[in-house]
Amino acid sequence: MPWDKLFGGVNKPADAKDLTDLEKKHLPVLCAPDSVKAGACFEVVVEVGKLLAHPNENGHFIEFVELYADDIYLARADLTAVTTCPSVRFNVSLPGAVKQLRAFARCNLHGVWVSAMSIAVKE
């Protein structure tokens, strides 16, 4: 894929039911409960390369993972090549009225990628 396409915005799969190898390597995979209680702490795991292993070497690695609740910024983890694995565990709580968790991951060679999952927050 051309450089200007990869770095011209946030990358999403063209067809979520038929992912390319590039998409499988870069899409962050979210693991969290489907339903949580407002204000209660819970765990979210974001892993890059779960669908297909992503390189983790000096010239090619995942630089960061960010977590959002809808458009609310929750957390970020900065990663380094070789010494950190692109799998991050966040402990968060949500205020309610949130519909989605969204994870962003940035590869130094292939840009920013986003995935989302629905979550129900009960009062």
- Binding stretches for Fe ion (CB under 5 A): 107, 109-110
Q: Which lies closer to Fe ion via its Cβ, residue 60 or residue 99?
A: 60
Q: Which lies closer to Fe ion via its Cβ, residue 103 or residue 107?
A: 107
Nearest to 123 by CA among 93, 95, 101: 95
Q: Which residue is listed with tokens 């969290």?
A: 32
- Least spacing, CB of residue 87 vs Fe ion, in Å: 15
Q: Which lies closer to Fe ion via its Cβ, residue 1 or residue 109?
A: 109
**Contact partners, residue 96, CB within 8 Å, separation at least 6:** 38, 39, 121, 123
Nearest to 90 by CA among 105, 75, 104, 103: 75
Q: Which lies closer to Fe ion via its Cβ, residue 53 or residue 109?
A: 109
- Least spacing, CB of residue 74 vs Fe ion, in Å: 24
- Least spacing, CB of residue 110 vs Fe ion, in Å: 4
Side-chain-facing half-sphere of 75: CA atoms under 13 Å: 13
- Least spacing, CB of residue 61 vs Fe ion, in Å: 8
Query: Alpha-carbon torsion 38, 93, 35, 18, what sign?
Result: positive
- Minimal CB distance residue for Fe ion: 107
